[in-house]
Amino acid sequence: MKSVTVVGASLAGVAAARALRDQGFDGRITMIGDEVHLPYDRPPLSKSFLLGDESGLGLDIDGLDVEWRLGCAATALSGTTVSTASGEISADAVVIATGAAACRLPGTVGIDGIHVLRSLDNARALRSSLTSGVRVTVVGAGFIGSEVASTAVGLGASVTVVEASKTPLARVFGSELGSLIAGWHRSAGAELLTGVSVAGFVVEAGRVRAVELADGSMIESDVVVLGVGSVPNVGWLDGSGLDIHGGVVTDQRGITANPAVVAVGDCAAVRDATGMIRRDEHWTSAATRPAVAVEALLTGGSKEFTGLPYVWSDQYAARIQFAGHHGPDCTADIVEGDPTTGPFVAVYRHNDRPVAVLAVSSPRSFGKWRRQVVDTSTLMT
């Protein structure tokens, strides 16, 4: 193999380029990214960056020896030839690492004061409007919405969080623990409205003035942040012949329907041993799966990725850590601490087997329990 094109110049793309070099590939690597910035890390964007700290944002690209094509979107893929506005790039293999885009609500594009948070440019725009006393409405109490709310409260903003489901974070942590963690908004001084959806926005002279809820009530708002999920960036793959099913479908190595093409990071939808297709949108998957995918590309080997999905989140001075898979048929028990007063650890069990662990501000205990968790994605029954 003499040449590889990596599409998406961010965490998973850089990890793939690093793995290629670490595994002895000395051919040409072309890295295509539609953003003009050199690769940067996204987790700080909803945390320290909004507080004014720009340190530690850049990803390590020393020694990668890649040809950069930044500010250049891939528009199509045919075999292993990638099309861009400035021409075609052919290679022996392709790594797809185009991540995901923040969802918007209908009619919100181009309205001043309404933000999403996915990119550095998004974060810069949001940061400049988060000042003390500003009225911020966050739509969605998931990780990104909750982190923005927490940061905005810290900056002295008046914050309302609107969440459509009755029990926020239930899908991630289960309803009881999800509600408990979402309740931090209230104890920190933000207002949390649950079980109510957004019906529309009051806009004057192109600027948002209020959020209208489905129950008819209005929340006067200077700033609105939409934290309503993300969609994988796979539109450019229409007509590529790859299997697209809520992301680019891969096997557990990262190989797509074309053996010379792998997909990694937030855009990849991995079929596990149980046949279930999952898209992990977490930093650790995007950073670690590419090494396995690259090995499969270079050697054709059968080594599969093993490792539990892991996510962390920083909210209201607490660190949340979660690893594993859980479903409605699991039970969750507090095994350490007291969730009503401070740090705690909860273990989720299925048929008495620990299948997931949640820890709040308890990193050591988290590590201990995480080693005991059984990876249900590798179990056929």
- Write out the residues near ligand FAD by the rule CB under 6 A: 7-13, 32-35, 42-43, 45-46, 73-74, 97-100, 117-118, 144, 233, 236, 265-266, 281-284, 286, 311-313
Helix, strand or coil for residue 245?
Answer: coil
Q: Which is nearer to ligand FAD, 210 or 264 (CB)?
A: 264
How far, in Å, are 188, 195, 201 from residue 107 at the CA level? 31, 22, 9
Residue 33 or 140 having the CB closest to ligand FAD? 33
Nearer to ligand FAD, 253 or 350 (CB): 253
In the complex with ligand FAD, the residue whose CB is nearer, 210 or 322, is 322
- The CB-of-157 to ligand FAD minimum distance in angstroms stands at 17
The DSSP code for 326 is -
Cα–Cα distance for residue pair 308/356, rounded to 1 Å: 9
Structure tokens at 100: 């995901």
Whole-angstrom distance, CA of residue 297 vs CA of residue 91: 13
**What letter represents residue 187's amino acid?**
S
Nearest distance, CB of residue 216 and ligand FAD, angstroms:
32
The torsion angles phi and psi of 224, rounded to 5 degrees, stand at -125, 135
The residue among 183 and 309 lying less far from ligand FAD, judged by its C-beta, is: 309
Nearer to ligand FAD, 37 or 209 (CB): 37
Nearest to 191 by CA among 151, 156, 224, 159: 159
- Output the smallest distance, CB 209 to ligand FAD, in A: 26
Q: What is the token pair recorded at 338?
A: 């007291």
* Nearest approach, Cβ of residue 160 and ligand FAD (Å): 20
Distance separating alpha carbons of residues 327 and 236, to the nearest angstrom: 33
In angstroms, give the least distance from the CB of 243 to ligand FAD: 18
Rounded to an integer, what distance in angstroms lies between the CA atom of residue 358 and that of residue 374?
Answer: 14
State in angstroms the smallest separation of the CB of 7 from ligand FAD.
5
